[in-house]
Chains A and B, each alone.
Chain A
């Protein structure tokens, strides 16, 4: 390779890219061929060819190095190896020159280490490699640096990009690769990864400056980014991808993303429905409600979980019964493994929509279920979307031989205001009221926790909301059915101890996570702290909102508060207003608790304490 600032002459080490490449070649030989190999090892972009000695001693085959710079070629020749100077210019010229060099010798294996990223015609060179190794099914070991290393990514997220003389961001790099883009580039050339032994360096040559908040390992920001990054894939600490490829068909037209792949047409919403086919009358109700949506920009992924063949046929019949426009939007997928969480991961994986909602076969969406999600997505793009579900108890009745659902209780909406902190304590949102942004699952790789046997949706809600925030409204858009305890459901399938155990697991999980809170949370936490400090109640004796209101009302209507008003005049002149009893109606629990604290601390009230002597309280 050509670098005007100097030459790349690194020592062979078993734990650097050279050692890893040779190990991959040894591994391939152990699997593929006998001890003695017929043919040569061709090292393209060989530089100083520091693997040559190991190739000879470990693989017992001829070594042939090729590079565009004379220094490395001279070094190899000086060490007694065959080496040639060649610039990769055109397909024909390069191939014919290599054929001349080979002079009829077979290629037993090939390598091109840390070279592809320097080539402006890298795709062409990969095609040449494809041609060379395809002749005799030889393996090729290729390596490139990882531009998605967390040291690069974290700094870039805060606007920093630093080329260096060499290393991950060598100033002569002209192509940059992540794992996915490398795979894509290979596939466009007809090369397929068959083995890998990547070089991992957690603290790379890009780990500077020392106290960069995104990089320094002791910062909250680094903890948060690291948690997210490590969840996406396991390449954050890979310095160089070292991969063995084999020749195969070209499975892609191009190495880069097409316009369609960038952000092609997706439905707004993917609806993921879990069903066991045990209550088809529920599924029919749910599908009928879907067929009444005012916004039809959605698809439905129905996951039949552990359904025997006869039930599968009945489910498919029910799906096929739908009106044509809806039928075209439905896909049925069978899942025979895992607990009730597995179908969610499969369904989310299959989902093509920008947002993904869970609509179980016993849920009922109202006509504005999809359209309300869309309105929320416009308000805060990419956030978790939350509406209100109304809970209703139901049972199955069989009237004249046909099963149907019968409501046995009134519609009881869940909390209208979405309170993230309250959700850390207990769930107030059934899954039917949520739509998850696609990116959480598909870009951050956040999956449902399949170790949980219940409350998997609560766990996922929290992990999502604590990263992307929540866009919510006070519209009731669905009915969440709650089976009477006489019927089989998740309420009866799992005992209370199991629900409690899962709750504890989620609590512990949340306690270990670095989290993001939305604007406004500081005030909320301050008020919570004030409430905790009030000492007005014990942990197990938390008063209700109306109890706070009553306590504050007593103070505000007391004679001592009224008579002490002159003491507050100076503050009122400065603009502070006395709270009126009529204000209390619209105050939240925390605001009331905070006000109660302030009133109890107020000097005017303390100075008029003698008026209250002998009275029960105020």
Chain B
């Protein structure tokens, strides 16, 4: 019995955490159905000991009522336990994930968008790179629109990982104090976390075999059309990233562009300046630019335009 228990202990446990914001129930269920199959395969093949799913709801009204939650818990109890926290305010994704990770007792954290549909062998593909102790974060490939950032085609090493679906050891997440929720509300918290992972001496790995589906669409001309909120918060994040990772030249360049930019960009610049005046900006780091990669307005070279 002791031997069997030891065996189970050696298999990693995973907390899958998602921040909800006005997410419909069909998308949540669709995501859980796929995740349950992936967990089923990973546990039955001895790749993982247990998985739990935690939701943090930042919507103004609950996405899941008690009855819905009860029904989901029951339906998927064979695969994982589900817990749910209603934050009762929009605290942003970075802060939401940090709060969900508080008290986490699993070996790994899988940061997952709540509408992402995982492939059946996802956990297998995402866990295997951690056989190399120098790996600190593993990212899945998104369908139908793959991110164009570059990565090494044989090792998967990349500049940063999106957290639509990314796996990181819980201890590392704690050591790095999670996402920088003071500086980032909605975007670039993942780029910043990735760079701090690398700053701490770990690798960030992109795994094309670990696929997930994230419902994104393009215009008939092939363009991705961000919403107004996406434009606003990514504009804020761009300034913050350049500041935090010691690129005042890029801050100046972006600020100049935003001055005559869209309404969202003007608002983003105003907020940045106000934080600057109040001394609320984070201290710049990576002064020798060993980690931060600024390629135009991107954080890695892109293989093709999106």
Contact = CB atoms under 8 A, between A and B. Distances in A.
B218 A413 contact: yes
Nearest to A404: B208
Given A321-B41, A368-B217, A413-B218, A288 B148 contact: no
B33 A476 contact: no
Interface in B77-123: 117-121
A414 to B, nearest CB: 10
A398 B154 contact: yes
A530 interface: no
A226 interface: no
Nearest to B129: A400
Nearest to A408: B303
B305 interface: yes
A288 B154 contact: no
A227 to B, nearest CB: 35
Nearest to A476: B218
A409 B209 contact: no
Nearest to B302: A410
A322 B36 CA distance: 10
A476 B219 contact: yes
Nearest to B213: A292
Interface band, chain A: 35 or more
A288 B209 contact: no
Contacts of A289: 143-144, 213
Nearest to A410: B304
Contacts of A411: 145, 218, 222, 306
Contacts of B151: 399
B221 to A, nearest CB: 7
Contacts of A365: 144
A582 interface: no
Interface string A400-418: 1011111111111100100
A322 B222 contact: no
A319 to B, nearest CB: 10
Interface residues of B, number: 47
Contacts of A474: 220
B227 interface: no
B162 interface: no
Given A291-B117, A322-B37, A367-B213, A407 B207 contact: no
Nearest to B157: A399
Given A400-B129, A406-B153, A413 B209 contact: no
Nearest to B121: A321
B125 interface: yes
A378 B303 CA distance: 40
B120 A321 contact: yes
B209 A390 contact: no
A479 interface: yes
Contacts of A403: 209
A75 B206 CA distance: 93
Contacts of A400: 128-129, 154-156, 205, 207
Given A325-B33, A402-B207, A390 B304 contact: no
A410 B222 contact: yes
A394 to B, nearest CB: 9
A291 B117 CA distance: 7
B215 A366 contact: yes
Given A388-B220, A400-B156, A410-B306, A291 B34 contact: yes
Nearest to A367: B215
A368 B143 CA distance: 13
B131 to A, nearest CB: 9
A408 B143 CA distance: 14
Interface string B134-165: 00000001011110100111111000000000
B174 interface: no
Given A284-B211, A285-B211, A479-B144, A399 B156 contact: yes
B30 interface: yes
B209 A404 contact: yes
B242 interface: no
B212 interface: yes
A422 to B, nearest CB: 16
A288 B37 CA distance: 12
A292 B35 CA distance: 12
Contacts of B125: 402
Nearest to B116: A292
B222 to A, nearest CB: 5
A364 B146 CA distance: 11
A285 B119 contact: yes
A539 B46 CA distance: 67
User: Which has the most chain A C-beta neighbours within 10 Å: B36, B146, B207?
Assistant: B146
Contacts of A398: 153-154
Interface in A360-392: 364-368, 388, 390
B211 A407 contact: no
Contacts of A408: 303-304
Given A288-B211, A404-B208, A413-B222, A476 B143 contact: no
Most central of A294, A366, A367, A475 by chain B CB within 10 Å: A367
6 contacts: A285-B143, A291-B33, A294-B26, A399-B151, A399-B154, A400-B156
Given A407-B303, A407-B304, 20 more contacts: A288-B118, A288-B119, A289-B213, A291-B213, A294-B26, A322-B37, A365-B144, A367-B213, A398-B154, A399-B151, A399-B153, A400-B156, A402-B125, A402-B209, A404-B141, A404-B207, A410-B222, A411-B306, A476-B220, A479-B144
The 5 A-B residue pairs whose C-beta atoms are closest, nearest first, are A404-B208, A321-B120, A402-B209, A416-B220, A292-B117
